[in-house]
Chains A and B, each alone.
Chain A
């Protein structure tokens, strides 16, 4: 999973390290052995010293970042293992049950539904993983076409209501005016669905989610997903959009996930020339997720 950018940054830091060693040797030979203690050479020596110190600091920062990344990657592998194996285990268990035991018609239907919903869950995880790779690669140009954002959001909400068995009053959405944007229908819907799914997943039992779509100062179409869930601490508001990042703590243990959802949201927003962010008054005060897309030029309408 190492990208080209990452390989390049590793090469850069190895080169930096080599430079530092070279400068150190130069510094030692010049300053200590030949004695440049005068005039312009004094200045040059001081400059070299500053360069060495800055380089060491940079290299350490890089090392720490790599270690953190590794840890997150491990956590991701664990989460994905769980997310992939659990539905397979469930499907297997129910198929074997159907095979081995004689069951009445209602029980059989119930079990078929469980198998279907588990295979949907499995597919969802697989799509999430594939999509996170796709929105990353800049080589593949997104498939932009005119679309109505309001309508796409409506479809996402309808899908979420069925998937999570949620009543319309717990997941509110008022269809608004036309919001023409230029976008990749699949990606936009995946991003909005991720936000809605998150709001439902993290809300717990007392759920109330409001979804709205509106035009903001004529230039942007904006989707807001507001929940009354556990909220987010201010320091985490930016980090949660990082790839693989999940907030540590009991909530993350309760709600299973891969740490890819919000990363996809942000990547999709960026690819469309928009942006995505989170707002929260802190832990326990609910949170609001916002994604903006530029309105399509008037000629397109």
Chain B
């Protein structure tokens, strides 16, 4: 049975969500604080198929929770559900490692559709894994990116990426060797068109570098282009 964790401190919303998700046939657990969520997901390593996460929680905020989860290697899909709808908040949410973001008040049907979308993606991934269908991949040096699997293989190591991290990486690879502006990435990857603080992207780059660069302090593949944004170089030796 599909298990959903709802992290929400507003009692009415939490119970309303529980009722509806149970009616959809899911098994639902509810906790009311960031600390309790971290305890369940990281300390107890409880298995969930999806987490619905509020941001303004007592104690630890939802953004901190998802960042800590990703840091600790907990890669369950996370849907952030919050009253904070400013584009800076949305970017912070994705930058901390969330897979989807929905603002309150929300439409019940949309919420359920998004949850189903995330679950379907997960199911597809699991289905493709045993057959090792790796048609959609890109290899450079010792690194291979498997777009559909949301995985990055470096020698024998496997790094699972979030959907957003993969989208950013994919976009950079598609524009190999060409400088890509932060604004273009915001528009193409996030679909945001407002004038926003584009530095949230830098957090993504820091994480991606940690995965793909042999020495993240001296990047060879993910280069910063001053005043513009970034440039992906698959084969730095060819460039010289």
Chain A interface (Cβ < 8 Å from any Cβ of B): 78, 81-82, 85-86, 88-90, 92-94, 96-97, 100-101, 114, 117-118, 250, 253-254, 256
Contact = CB atoms under 8 A, between A and B. Distances in A.
B138 interface: no
Contacts of B58: 250, 253-254
Contacts of B140: none
A256 to B, nearest CB: 8
A228 B13 CA distance: 29
Interface in B1-30: 10, 12-13, 15-17, 19-20, 23
A140 to B, nearest CB: 32
25 contacts: A82-B56, A85-B104, A86-B104, A88-B105, A89-B13, A89-B104, A89-B105, A90-B10, A90-B16, A92-B105, A93-B105, A96-B107, A96-B108, A97-B16, A97-B19, A100-B108, A100-B109, A101-B23, A117-B12, A250-B58, A250-B59, A253-B58, A253-B59, A254-B58, A254-B59
Contacts of A86: 10, 13, 83, 104
Contacts of A253: 57-59
A102 to B, nearest CB: 10
A86 B104 CA distance: 7
Contacts of A78: 56, 84
Contacts of B19: 97
Contacts of A94: 12, 16
A101 B20 CA distance: 9
A154 B163 CA distance: 57
Interface string B101-136: 000111111000000000000000000000000000
Nearest to B89: A78
Interface string B87-107: 000000000000000001111
Contacts of B10: 86, 90
A89 B108 contact: no
Given A81-B84, A114-B15, 11 more contacts: A78-B84, A88-B105, A89-B83, A89-B104, A90-B13, A92-B106, A93-B16, A93-B17, A93-B20, A94-B12, A101-B20
Interface string B52-78: 000011110000000000000000000
Instruction: Name which of B10, B57, B109 has the most chain A CB atoms within 10 A of its CB.
Output: B10
Contacts, number: 62
Nearest to A93: B16
A90 B83 contact: no
A85 B83 contact: yes
Nearest to B16: A93
Nearest to A252: B58
Contacts of B17: 93
A81 B82 CA distance: 11
A96 to B, nearest CB: 4
A93 B10 CA distance: 13
B220 to A, nearest CB: 41
Nearest to A88: B105
What 7 pairs between A and B have smallest CB-CB spacing? A89-B104, A85-B83, A89-B105, A254-B58, A96-B108, A93-B16, A90-B12
A114 B12 contact: yes
B79 to A, nearest CB: 15
Contact of A82 (B20, B83, B105): B83
A30 B217 CA distance: 58
Contacts of A96: 107-109
A89 B15 CA distance: 13
B83 A93 contact: no
B23 A118 contact: no
Contacts of A254: 58-59
- With a 10 A CB-CB cut-off, give which of A88, A90, A256 has the most chain B CB atoms: A90
B157 to A, nearest CB: 38
Contacts of B104: 85-86, 88-89
B83 A97 contact: no
B16 A114 contact: yes
Nearest to A78: B84
A183 B108 CA distance: 47
A78 B19 CA distance: 28
Contacts of A88: 104-105
Nearest to A250: B59
B18 to A, nearest CB: 11
B154 to A, nearest CB: 39
A88 B23 CA distance: 22
Interface in B131-166: none
Contacts of B23: 101
A89 B110 CA distance: 13
B127 to A, nearest CB: 30
Given A86-B13, A118-B12, A93 B108 contact: yes
Contacts of B105: 85, 88-89, 92-93
